[in-house]
Amino acid sequence: MTRKLSFSGAINEALHQEMERDETVFILGEDVAKMGGDFGITKGIWEKWPNRAYDTALSEQAILGLCNGAAVCGLKPVAELMFADFVGVCYDQLINNAAKLCYMYDGQASAQIVVRAVTGGGIRCAYHHSQCIEPWLMNIPGLVIVAPSNAYEAKGLLVGSIRNQNPVVFLEHKLLYNTKSEVPEELYDIELYKAKVVKEGSDITIVAAMTMMAFAEKAAKELEKEGISVEIINPLTIFPLDKETIVDSVAKTGRLVVVQEGPKVMGYAAELGAMVVEDIFEYLKAPLKRVTSLDVPVPFAPVQEDYVLPHYDDVIKACHEVMAF
């Protein structure tokens, strides 16, 4: 039987194994070396490779600038942004330099970097440490956004991200760090740009990522008791989206519910909805439904944060609404 590993442990193991395999991989960020990272994700690496683990100044702009320069020189930096929210500080380095480098130099140079970004709400971190930042980046050609939902995916997708030729923003949801799933000890990678059909069904397609996957799976089990068959799609790579897998699923079921943690306006649920309506409108049996956070900043007060974030009951309600048609 495959052993179980935590989400955080799986990322740590992926880093150790990939650094063992490829000497051009190194890590950098605030307190990622001697301390092992604020969340303990990089523990043990500095002890093994003191010349390949660097504590940086408290400057996301400096971290990404160093990444870009190192990548141009043939290295493969894996940077940690302690909180994804601070991608705004290094936005120019990411979107105007890293994302465009390969295109500008016709493939002769590229920014083969991975930016590990700790994302999401649910642990009372308030306004500046709880946001879902993927919509900020989805309009940037050249970037890749990866979003695992369990430990198995975290290890395989991180390895795939490090080996990818493009700059990758690798989203790690805080609430997933202590969750466990079966993870092989050997090194493996999961293909980027390919969505996963988590469960097959015939009545409704639910698309969900990261922590929202747990809502989708729970809802599918509950709805099955009512005779409603749910198909679940996990994008894995949020950008670029695996359009074919999602469109094929919705063409089969005729109904779509997208569950995303971030605010509704301009979120990836909106892009999914537009994509489906544009391509297979004639297959739809009901209007699509989006289950999202409210369009407000994430509050600190527990009762307010709980009110703002999406809930399992919202998923059930949305599914019942699309089944009413």
Any idea which residues carry the catalytic annotation?
129
Task: Map tokens 């295109």 to a residue.
Answer: 103
Closest CA to 238 of 311, 143, 321, 128: 143
Alpha-carbon span 153 to 134, nearest angstrom: 18
Closest CA to 152 of 174, 168, 129, 176: 176
The residues, ordered by sequence, that sit 6+ positions from 94 with a Cβ below 8 Å of its Cβ are 64, 87, 115, 137, 140, 143, 167, 169
The residues, ordered by sequence, that sit 6+ positions from 294 with a Cβ below 8 Å of its Cβ are 263, 264, 307, 308
Alpha-carbon span 201 to 249, nearest angstrom: 9
Alpha-carbon span 241 to 235, nearest angstrom: 7
The side-by-side arrangement of strands in the sheet containing 76-81 is 53-55, 25-29, 76-81, 114-119, 168-173, 144-146, 237-239
